[in-house]
Amino acid sequence: MCNKFFYSVTITQKMGGCSSQSCHRCFFEYETERMIVVKSKVVGSVFRLIQFLILFYVIGYACVVQKSYQETDSVISSVTTKVKGTGFTNTSDLGARVWDVADYNIPPQGESSFFVLTNMIVTPNQTQSTCPELPNQSTICMSDSDCLEGSNDVRGNGIQTGLCMNYSETVKTCEVLSWCPLEIDINLPEHALLVAAEDFTVLIKNSVTYPKFNFHKRNILPDVNSSYLKQCKFNRKTDPDCPIFRLKDMVSEAEEDFQTMAIRGGVLGIMIDWSCDLDWPEHYCGPKYSFRRLDNKIPENNVAPGYNFRFAKYYKTTDGRETRTLIKAYGIRFDVIVFGTAGKFNMVPTIVNVGAALTFLSLVNAVCNWFLLTCTKKRDYYSKHKFTYLDNTDDNAGEPLGETTYGTR
């Protein structure tokens, strides 16, 4: 067993030189290297440490973690969703009614997303008529002269008629031509209207392809049949391959409370990761699901929280007059985000990375030579023996040159 640390220094020696009369002999000359072995624990430790770090980087990080021996391709994906579930509400505006998917899934088809209505502000029986504008700094008036006929405020609800009307017993506002009565959207219910929405389910159908490798797969696995889909529900431990998800379970995995989020709405991301190592059999490549809230819910910046939009349902009375029910809908928008990268062994990146590793290893000697000639106490001594200059006038030019060992105490 070796009890010394060795570091070898390569020295290039060239005997003599080429004259103009003997240039033809230079063509057949061969330069060789002389090896000096330095017995030094410090230099030897630096030498082995750098070698170990390079090998650890190449094998541990580049090969095992980054899989740099593989050719890669990015996923191309398509997503369709289908929501199911029914709920019941009983309010003064809408009365008792049952909600099915056609009522709360708005719009019924989205681009890799779907919306489930959970709360609302309803303004029924609106007609095209005139009424006092909602009071604010620009609409409060004292007389008709304060109102400009034909004025259209983009933040208002209609076009002013030029009249100043009583909004209440103490406040007057400019009259507008609009859908009246106007919506008052400050009376949001304290609890979500559609409480049963937490038990609704969604079927997510996701097809992916890696065109470079001609690889195609769905999140509905080949051994899944229709009877299984009718009864399964995603569970990370007991049923991780089921593509049907309960809404409350997804929100809970995002560390949110469904009923709290349902009051003002929000945006939830359904992340599907298709990162695959195609050097393994195909059944090892499958979707990995995760869930995260995407909209801003920072307490210090709670202006315009949640997610909402408006839509209307139009009717005609018996006398042919058009009316509508305006609904300001609050709910949760689910965005399905698919991502992933697939890798497969390829000779070209393998050769490139092996070459890079050999290049790194070749730099070890240069680093240790610098350390030997710059940072050690005997740098002048090593420098003297590292560089040797010989020519034809040297009396010992014909003596053989072999391996030389220098030690340090």
DSSP secondary structure, 89-145, as one string: EEETTTEEEEE-HHHHBSSSS-SSEEEEEEEEEEEEEEEEEEEEPPPSTTTB-SSGG
| pLDDT over 90 (residue 210) | yes
Range from 41-55, 101-115, 288-302, 371-385 carrying the lowest mean pLDDT? 371-385
Reduced to 3 states (helix: H, G, I; strand: E, B; else coil), residue 174 is strand
Quick check: 245 and 271 in contact, CB under 8 A?
Answer: no
Range from 118-132, 200-214, 265-279, 383-397 carrying the lowest mean pLDDT? 383-397
Greater pLDDT, 18 or 153: 153
Taking the C-alpha atoms of residue 254 and residue 147, their distance in angstroms, rounded to an integer, is: 50
Which residue is listed with tokens 């049949």?
A: 225
Cis preceding-peptide flag for 107 (omega within 30 of 0): yes
| pLDDT over 60 (residue 339) | yes
Quick one: pLDDT band at residue 46, thresholds 50, 70, 90? confident
Tokens of 348: 């070209």
What pLDDT is stored for residue 34 in this prediction? 65
Taking the C-alpha atoms of residue 264 and residue 332, their distance in angstroms, rounded to an integer, is: 9
| pLDDT over 90 (residue 333) | yes
| pLDDT over 90 (residue 305) | no
| pLDDT over 70 (residue 402) | no
Taking the C-alpha atoms of residue 50 and residue 360, their distance in angstroms, rounded to an integer, is: 10
For the segment 85-126, what is each residue's pLDDT rounded down to a tens digit?
Answer: 999 988 777 778 898 998 888 887 777 899 999 999 999 999
Average pLDDT over residues 175-199: 91
What pLDDT is stored for residue 257 in this prediction? 94
Question: Is 213 flagged in the annotation as binding?
Answer: no
What average pLDDT is seen over the chain? 84
Quick check: 45 and 169 in contact, CB under 8 A?
Answer: no
Question: Is 155 flagged in the annotation as binding?
Answer: no
Question: Is 316 flagged in the annotation as binding?
Answer: no
Cis preceding-peptide flag for 181 (omega within 30 of 0): yes
Average pLDDT over residues 143-164: 92
What pLDDT is stored for residue 112 in this prediction? 86
What pLDDT is stored for residue 9 in this prediction? 54
| pLDDT over 80 (residue 236) | yes
For residue 104, what are the CA distances in angstroms to 10, 45, 50, 115, 293? Answer: 79, 70, 64, 8, 20
| CB neighbours of residue 6 within 10 Å | 16
Quick check: 290 and 271 in contact, CB under 8 A?
Answer: yes
Tokens of 289: 């699901």
Average pLDDT over residues 298-325: 86
Question: Is 219 flagged in the annotation as binding?
Answer: no
Q: Which of 181, 176, 178, 167 has its CA nearest to residue 125?
A: 181
What pLDDT is stored for residue 157 in this prediction? 92
Quick one: pLDDT band at residue 314, thresholds 50, 70, 90? very high
Which residue is listed with tokens 């230079």?
A: 26
Report the amino acid identity of residue 315: Y
Quick one: pLDDT band at residue 19, thresholds 50, 70, 90? low
| pLDDT over 90 (residue 62) | no
Reduced to 3 states (helix: H, G, I; strand: E, B; else coil), residue 14 is coil
Quick check: 388 and 396 in contact, CB under 8 A?
Answer: no
Q: Which of 256, 236, 240, 238 has its CA nearest to residue 248?
A: 256
Report the amino acid identity of residue 174: C
Tokens of 189: 């219910």
| pLDDT over 80 (residue 396) | no
| pLDDT over 60 (residue 404) | no
Greater pLDDT, 11 or 117: 117
Quick one: pLDDT band at residue 170, thresholds 50, 70, 90? very high
| pLDDT over 90 (residue 165) | yes
Provide the 8-state DSSP code for 182. Answer: P
Greater pLDDT, 173 or 14: 173
What pLDDT is stored for residue 92 in this prediction? 76
Quick one: pLDDT band at residue 259, thresholds 50, 70, 90? very high
Range from 97-111, 294-308, 354-368 carrying the lowest mean pLDDT? 294-308
CA atoms within 13 Å, Cβ hemisphere of 375? 10
What pLDDT is stored for residue 406 in this prediction? 47
Tokens of 144: 């008709």
For residue 324, what are the CA distances in angstroms to 130, 150, 176? Answer: 15, 24, 18
What pLDDT is stored for residue 250 in this prediction? 96
Chain center to CA of 253: 17
Question: Is 201 flagged in the annotation as binding?
Answer: yes
Report the amino acid identity of residue 165: M
Q: Which of 197, 327, 303, 189 has its CA nearest to residue 259?
A: 197
| pLDDT over 50 (residue 361) | yes
Percent of the chain with pLDDT over 70: 84
| pLDDT over 90 (residue 344) | yes
Reduced to 3 states (helix: H, G, I; strand: E, B; else coil), residue 157 is coil
Question: Is 10 flagged in the annotation as binding?
Answer: no
| pLDDT over 50 (residue 398) | no
Taking the C-alpha atoms of residue 359 and residue 352, their distance in angstroms, rounded to an integer, is: 11
| pLDDT over 80 (residue 395) | no
